[in-house]
A and B are shown apart, each in its own frame.
Chain A
Amino acid sequence: MLENIALIREVQESLSTSKAQELALQYLKRVRLEKIALLRVSSCSKIEIFYTLLIRALMTKKATIIIVTPFTLMPNLRAINVIIEDIQLLTQDKKIIILDNTTNQTHYKGCSCNITK
């Protein structure tokens, strides 16, 4: 997973492999997932894959990241707050938009973020 995340900075900013992987590891540590650094996709849970995808997106220069139906990506997830807390640990300067169906609105109860229907 480390290589997967590091790839973005290596290609887009020509960052050396060691520095890009160090940065990727820092991000994984923030969400307590350093254990998946050397694992392959098949060995990771859905939530671990989701965080890898999210960190990989954070590595890009894009200012806005859109997450589409997170409860489909992580069927065992009950409340969105867990994810939002981790997103705040990962980034403060990017705009994160979550798109979801109204059928999932119960999962967003008590959420600190702005909800637009």
Chain B
Amino acid sequence: MIMKFIEGVGEKTLNALFSIYEALKFSFICIVHMLQPQSYNPAMRMVLTKQIYFTAVTVIPTFIMMAVIFGSVIIGVVIALATEYSLQDQIGSIIITFVINEFAPFFTALLISLRSGTAINTEIAVMNVNRELNTLKEYDINIIDYLFLPRIISGIISVVSLSILFALIMLGSGYIFTLFYMNMDFHTYKYLLVSAIEVKDIVVLLLKSIAFGFVTMLIPIYSGLKTAKAYTAIPISVLNGMVKLFIAIFFIEVLSLVLQLI
């Protein structure tokens, strides 16, 4: 009984470690391809353009609307709390840290995961089940260059650009709330932000967005690739992919917080 339990735990641990090793190997291969100029052939560039359009451009109206609604409410709450606890003199650094370092990249990553991550996981899983990936290989088409790389690069570009857009919208909303709660004019607000922002904040925003963009596309692709050859396996693949993706996003978020504290 105890032996079986230990064996079960050991087997699960080994499987989990092997999966992590396989995923890391796949990530490494994708990064190597990303650095090779020959990966960027005309077909890949065409797919990349389309992916950027579908991931970053078509989402803009919804994204702006969500950024205005959620961003304004959250920044309003933060400013209200700061006022309540007499932290008005710290308001600049509170807004910058909260918006640029934390909320903008995290919210953008969640939105892109829900919208594009699921789509890409399903797309790759369907292609895998229909053996379209094998057909591409038969024609000597490198699936990493043609299918995966454009999606990963578009993920990085989309999350970085939309995070910046989200941060700008939130900072704009922040002004409205500081005007309302603290009767602060625009020049004072601008001065507070400019004096509070550091190069480190921009670096954190960019690095976090790049990491989020990378995993937002890589994990669904990897999950789609690992789908068993049956249509019934597609929903399971998407489910597993999304769970792993959310774990990865939270892991990056926690890791960035820990690194900033050190």
Contacts and interface: CB of A to CB of B under 8 A. Distances in A.
Determine if chain A interacts with chain B.
yes
B146 interface: yes
Interface in A1-22: 3, 6-8, 10-12, 14-17, 20
A60 B41 contact: no
Interface string B41-68: 1111110000000000000000000000
Contact of B43 (A17, A56, A60): A17
B139 A14 contact: no
B41 A10 contact: yes
Nearest to A6: B43
* Among B42, B139, B141, B145, residue most surrounded by chain A Cβ atoms (within 10 Å): B42
Contacts of B42: 10, 14-17, 20
Interface residues of B, number: 12
Interface in B110-164: 139-142, 145-146
* Among A11, A12, A16, A17, residue most surrounded by chain B Cβ atoms (within 10 Å): A11
* Among B43, B141, B142, B145, residue most surrounded by chain A Cβ atoms (within 10 Å): B43
Contacts of A12: 140-141
A85 B140 CA distance: 29
Contacts of A7: 43, 139, 141, 146
B42 to A, nearest CB: 5
Contacts of B41: 10-11, 14
Interface band, chain A: 10 to 19
Contact of B139 (A3, A6, A8, A15): A8
Contacts of A15: 42
Contact of B141 (A3, A6, A11): A11
Interface string B185-222: 00000000000000000000000000000000000000
Contacts of A20: 42
Nearest to A15: B42
B139 A10 contact: no
A67 to B, nearest CB: 15
A101 B44 CA distance: 40
A24 to B, nearest CB: 12
A7 B42 CA distance: 9
Contacts of A14: 41-42
A6 B42 CA distance: 10
Given A56-B139, A60-B139, A11 B46 contact: no
A72 to B, nearest CB: 17
Nearest to A56: B139
Interface string A25-68: 00000000000000000000000000000001000100000000
A88 to B, nearest CB: 24
Given A7-B141, A11-B43, 4 more contacts: A7-B139, A10-B43, A16-B42, A60-B140
Interface of B: 41-46, 139-142, 145-146
> Which 4 A-B residue pairs are closest in the complex by CB-CB distance?
A10-B43, A10-B42, A17-B42, A11-B141
28 contacts: A7-B43, A7-B139, A7-B141, A7-B146, A8-B139, A8-B141, A10-B41, A10-B43, A10-B46, A11-B41, A11-B43, A11-B139, A11-B140, A11-B141, A11-B145, A11-B146, A12-B140, A12-B141, A14-B42, A15-B42, A16-B42, A17-B42, A17-B43, A17-B45, A20-B42, A56-B139, A60-B139, A60-B140
